[in-house]
Amino acid sequence: MINKTIAKEYIDTLGQFPDYQISIYDNHAKEICSTSNTKKYFSNIELENFLYSQESVSECKKGTLNCVLVRIYEDNITSCFISIAGVDNNLLPIATALKMSLEIRLKYDQIQSEEKETLTINEQLIKELVSDSIQVSKIFELCEQSNHSMEIERKMIMLIPDDLSSIDVLANMNLYYDSKEDIVGRLGQQLIVLKDMTRATGSEKDYIKVYLDFLIKNTSFRGKALVAYTSKTYDKVKFAYQSLTWLKKYASTHNPSALTLFFNDYIDIYCIAAIPFDILQNLFSSYTFDKETAKEFIVTTDALIRNNYNIVRSSKELFVHKNTLMYRLTKIKNEFDIDPVNSKSDRSFIKIYNYYLKQRIEGKGGTTDERN
């Protein structure tokens, strides 16, 4: 519906019509805005007669000027009308152009308002889905209001913008890709996307990468994207959110270079984090702890883990000669009697010990689950 803000913005854009006086009236025949605050070419009676008539256009002569009244519709209902006065003998084409442009503007405003309302419903739905105490009836109601199905398999993606001040803008942008079953809403300082996975063919990870590339190319989003497992039923969404909340905390502490983090790549660390620190401390009590040696172990094994124990890539990342890296690796092999390059079980040891050393250096401990 027309309002003073929209009317003024519209009038301000009409600089290309300096030879005409243009006014906008509401659906009660009251002037909202005009290009001139002095001369009025239509009486209140004339305006009201036009409003209550069945005419969509009215033309008349006012002294030396030609005048046109044209009705503006929204959903086949009169929203407002425009008057235009000028010396041209045929003002109807100009009046028609003004009518079309204002109706388009009002339609756009209506769509934006509906999208914002839908987004608000989506936010309520997402908050309900990630709640510890799910209210099934409430979820059904919100799904119905937002025209979403509860039966869709969805993958949760947490978008964390680099610039948190942009989150309001992003929350109102169209982040949909190939399905109206995508559910998007703001939750705290991040955006949550519950991506419909029924259209995914082949690798789910590749499908999500294509979607995220689409977002980067078509929206202002810049930041990290955290991706959970697919939730096959609505009651599993909260577990996806819990895992991504942990991954967000982990990423803020360890600063991984990748912009897209898949939770399944960190599942082992997530499980290790559930082990109370005193158990880890007892497990590794026979090994001598030296802070500098521990730091070298962490840096070296972090690079090896990230590069799947590829010596060349790891040495490049560490900016050391591969022989230097081999020397460090040999020290680790001799100290712990392991061979992580060739043994998967030894790689598990490396990850657990790496995690333990980080916790010890950071002064953490106790029996608290580090995932919380």
CATH number of this structure's domain 4-106:
3.30.450.40
Q: What is the mean pLDDT of residues 166-186?
A: 80
pLDDT band at 367 (very low <50, low <70, confident <90, very high): very low
Model-wide pTM > 0.85:
no
Query: Cβ(115)–Cβ(60) under 8 Å?
Result: no
Query: Cβ(167)–Cβ(187) under 8 Å?
Result: no
What type of residue sits at position 72? I
Query: Can you read off the two tokens belonging to residue 56?
Result: 């969509």
| Residue 116: predicted pLDDT | 57
Percent of the chain with pLDDT over 70: 93
| Residue 7: predicted pLDDT | 86
| Residue 370: predicted pLDDT | 52
Was domain 130-265 assigned CATH 3.40.50?
no
What is the C-alpha to C-alpha distance for residues 230 and 236, in angstroms, rounded to an integer? 9
Window from 12-26, 59-73, 149-163, 201-215 with minimum mean pLDDT: 12-26
Alpha-helix residue ranges (DSSP H) falling in the chain: 4-12, 44-52, 92-129, 136-145, 167-171, 204-218, 237-254, 267-272, 277-283, 291-306, 311-318, 322-336, 344-361
Nearest one of 261, 72, 372 to 364, comparing CA atoms: 372
What is the C-alpha to C-alpha distance for residues 364 and 355, in angstroms, rounded to an integer? 11
Q: What b/e string do you get for 294-307 counting C-beta neighbours within 10 Å, with b at 16 or more?
A: beebbebbbbbbeb
Decide which of 353 and 254 is more confident.
353
pLDDT(114) > 70: no
| Residue 371: predicted pLDDT | 55
pLDDT(323) > 60: yes
Query: Cβ(26)–Cβ(13) under 8 Å?
Result: no
pLDDT(119) > 70: no
**What are the tens digits of pLDDT across the range 276-320?**
999 999 999 999 889 999 999 999 999 999 899 999 999 999 999
What is the C-alpha to C-alpha distance for residues 164 and 171, in angstroms, rounded to an integer? 11
| Residue 38: predicted pLDDT | 63
Query: Can you read off the two tokens belonging to residue 134?
Result: 């799910």
Percent of the chain with pLDDT over 90: 46
- Burial class (CB within 10 angstroms; exposed 0-12, middle 13-18, buried 19+) of 185: buried
pLDDT band at 193 (very low <50, low <70, confident <90, very high): very high
Domain residue spans in the chain? 4-106, 130-265, 272-361
What is the C-alpha to C-alpha distance for residues 215 and 209, in angstroms, rounded to an integer? 10
Distances (CA, A) of 227 to 17, 70, 209, 247: 52, 53, 10, 9
- Mention every residue, 6+ apart, whose C-beta is less than 8 A from residue 276: 366, 367, 368, 369
Query: Cβ(185)–Cβ(192) under 8 Å?
Result: yes
